[in-house]
């Protein structure tokens, strides 16, 4: 049956090459496979499978977490947060660059999407950095990499989809992403400090010492800073704390986060009709896109499982592979390449039905796999020439050229690759926190 695996991938590549949406391509391929190679009567089960998943409590967390992120992004709360962090770090060299990474990491903890994190923080941080004399390539590349933290630091939509597809604990995946996310943010900050030390041209010295605009009265400044950052940090701690202690389920934590974000925006007097319109519109669009991908993936996975392809492929790879780490490296390379062309959720839907059973059969930890697979998708999103975050930043910051963004992203790819290697060599970085639950 191995020839079938190659045929399926070939047909899928052709379907995607002609511009068919991934959700439709996966669904079509799954239904065609059932009709041609299995019993057509099995098609009646697809309605039950998709309906069950659509009405699942687990699926509900997707629109809830998206709603939380959209409320904070459209209300201007993220902009205030960046300004506050920049003021607090003004004594550090490259404070705006470091602030963009810190703000991206914090916003990732209430967002769950790499493009959303890159666009939301990038529209604020990149113009500020360029105005203060930062090299445009340096600023754009750094924010492109910072945006990838959105699918690693929980609550991550990618982790949710990975958990649904592979039937892995979503709560444990969330916990496993915290330390690696902070670690990668630390690597990016370290790069900023080293780059500014070795290459002073990264920042125009005639502009870097200009006073940042802000509140002059110290008491007003402290009060403003407290209001800008503390509520978001409290919201993050509450959502993740409730998950870690097991007081609530992942879906209930998403509901708590959405309500908390709504109350935060109301208390900050940022809830306008335009804000609500954009929030609900974006939440609906993004949720529907992910749900359609999930439904197509479910149909595709049902066909593969019924035909027995994942089990056959896993047995074959285990038999012929001289070393399980060689198989792992090949898988990571494939994911990195796919990440240049597809979004993470689409990659998971296409590859995990094949890859996950194979790697877990080789005794790789499923939680650790979730983290490393997600990081590989992160790297693909900023890999030139067609990484998704590159185009997101180009659209979000019109003054940037695509060439500038691509040149700035090259060193960031190497940094994130180094981070992936470290997290591969030391899996305990990912698995320690879930093991304490």
Q: How many CB atoms lie within 10 A of CB 96?
A: 27
Average pLDDT over residues 159-183: 90
pLDDT tens digits for range 321-360: 778 899 899 889 888 888 777 778 888 888 888 889 889 9
Answer yes or no: is 335 within a domain. yes
Average pLDDT over residues 182-197: 91
Residue 211: per-residue pLDDT: 44
Give the pLDDT band (50/70/90) at residue 210.
Answer: very low
pLDDT tens digits for range 227-243: 777 888 888 889 888 88
CA distances from 13 to 10, 240, 252, 330 (A): 5, 39, 38, 19
Q: Whole domain around residue 302: which residue ranges?
A: 44-435
Q: Which residues pair with 203 in a beta bridge?
A: 134
**3 state SS of 435:** helix
Answer yes or no: is 1 within a domain. no
Q: What is the H or E stretch that residue 355 is in?
A: helix 344-361
| Averaged pLDDT score across all residues of the chain | 83
Nearest to 16 by CA among 285, 290, 296, 291: 296
Residue 202: per-residue pLDDT: 65
Does residue 184 contact residue 147 with C-beta atoms inside 8 Å?
A: no
Say which DSSP state 42 is in: G
Distance CA 112, CA 153 (A): 7
Enumerate helices (H) and strands (E) in the chain, giving the number of each. Answer: 21, 0
Answer yes or no: is 10 within a domain. no
The domain total for the chain is: 1
Answer yes or no: is 209 within a domain. yes
pLDDT tens digits for range 69-116: 888 888 878 778 888 888 888 887 778 888 889 988 888 887 777 777
225 pLDDT more than 80: no
Distance CA 217, CA 221 (A): 6
Answer yes or no: is 109 within a domain. yes
Give the pLDDT band (50/70/90) at residue 215.
Answer: very low
CA distances from 34 to 20, 40, 84, 136, 354 (A): 20, 6, 56, 52, 17
pLDDT tens digits for range 46-67: 888 888 888 888 888 889 988 9
Comparison of pLDDT for 409 and 321, the residue scoring more: 409
The reported pTM is 0.83
Window from 16-25, 29-38, 173-182 with minimum mean pLDDT: 16-25
Give the pLDDT band (50/70/90) at residue 217.
Answer: low
Answer yes or no: is 32 within a domain. no
Average pLDDT over residues 367-394: 84
Comparison of pLDDT for 284 and 23, the residue scoring more: 284
Average pLDDT over residues 357-382: 90
Answer yes or no: is 342 within a domain. yes
Residue 316: per-residue pLDDT: 76
Distance CA 30, CA 226 (A): 52
Residue 370: per-residue pLDDT: 93
Give the pLDDT band (50/70/90) at residue 1.
Answer: low
Average pLDDT over residues 304-308: 79
Answer yes or no: is 37 within a domain. no
Distance CA 168, CA 179 (A): 19
Give the pLDDT band (50/70/90) at residue 213.
Answer: very low
């Amino acid at each position: 049956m191995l020839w079938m695996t190659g045929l399926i991938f070939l047909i899928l590549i052709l379907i995607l090459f002609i511009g068919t949406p991934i959700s439709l391509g996966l669904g079509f391929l799954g239904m065609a496979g059932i009709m041609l190679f299995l019993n057509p009567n099995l098609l009646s089960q697809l309605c039950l499978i998709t309906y069950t998943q659509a009405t699942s409590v687990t699926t509900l967390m997707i629109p809830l977490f998206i709603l939380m992120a959209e409320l904070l992004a459209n209300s201007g709360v993220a902009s205030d947060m960046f300004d506050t962090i920049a003021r607090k770090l003004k004594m550090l060299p490259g404070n705006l660059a470091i602030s963009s990474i810190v703000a991206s990491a914090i916003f990732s903890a209430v967002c769950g999407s790499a493009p959303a994190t890159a666009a939301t923080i990038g529209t604020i941080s990149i113009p500020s950095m360029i105005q203060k004399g930062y090299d445009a390539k340096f600023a754009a590349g750094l924010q492109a990499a910072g945006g990838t933290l959105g699918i690693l630091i929980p609550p991550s939509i990618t982790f949710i989809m990975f958990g649904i597809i592979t039937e892995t604990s979503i709560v444990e995946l969330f916990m496993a992403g915290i330390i690696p996310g902070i670690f990668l943010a630390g690597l990016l900050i370290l790069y900023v400090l080293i780059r500014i030390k070795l290459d002073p041209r990264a920042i125009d010295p005639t502009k870097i010492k200009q006073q940042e605009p802000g509140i002059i009265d110290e008491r007003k400044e402290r009060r403003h800073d407290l209001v800008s950052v503390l509520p978001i940090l409290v919201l993050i701690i509450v959502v993740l704390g409730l998950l870690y202690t097991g007081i609530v389920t992942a879906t209930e934590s998403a509901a708590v986060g959405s309500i908390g974000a709504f109350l935060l925006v109301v208390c900050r007097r940022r809830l306008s009709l335009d804000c609500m319109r954009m929030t609900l519109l974006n939440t609906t669009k993004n949720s529907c896109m992910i749900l359609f991908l999930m439904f197509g993936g479910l149909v595709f996975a049902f066909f593969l499982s019924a035909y027995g392809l994942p089990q056959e492929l896993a047995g074959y790879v285990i038999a012929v592979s001289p070393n399980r780490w060689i198989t792992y490296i090949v898988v990571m390379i494939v994911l990195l390449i796919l990440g240049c062309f597809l979004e993470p959720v689409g990659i998971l839907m296409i590859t995990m039905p094949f890859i996950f059973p194979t790697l877990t059969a080789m005794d790789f930890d499923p939680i650790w796999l979730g983290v490393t697979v997600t990081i590989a998708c992160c790297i693909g999103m900023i890999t030139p020439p067609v990484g998704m975050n590159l185009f997101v930043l180009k659209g979000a910051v019109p003054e940037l050229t695509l060439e500038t963004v691509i040149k700035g992203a090259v060193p960031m790819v190497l940094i994130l690759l180094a981070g992936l290697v470290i997290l591969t060599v030391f899996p305990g970085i990912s698995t320690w926190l879930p093991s304490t639950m």
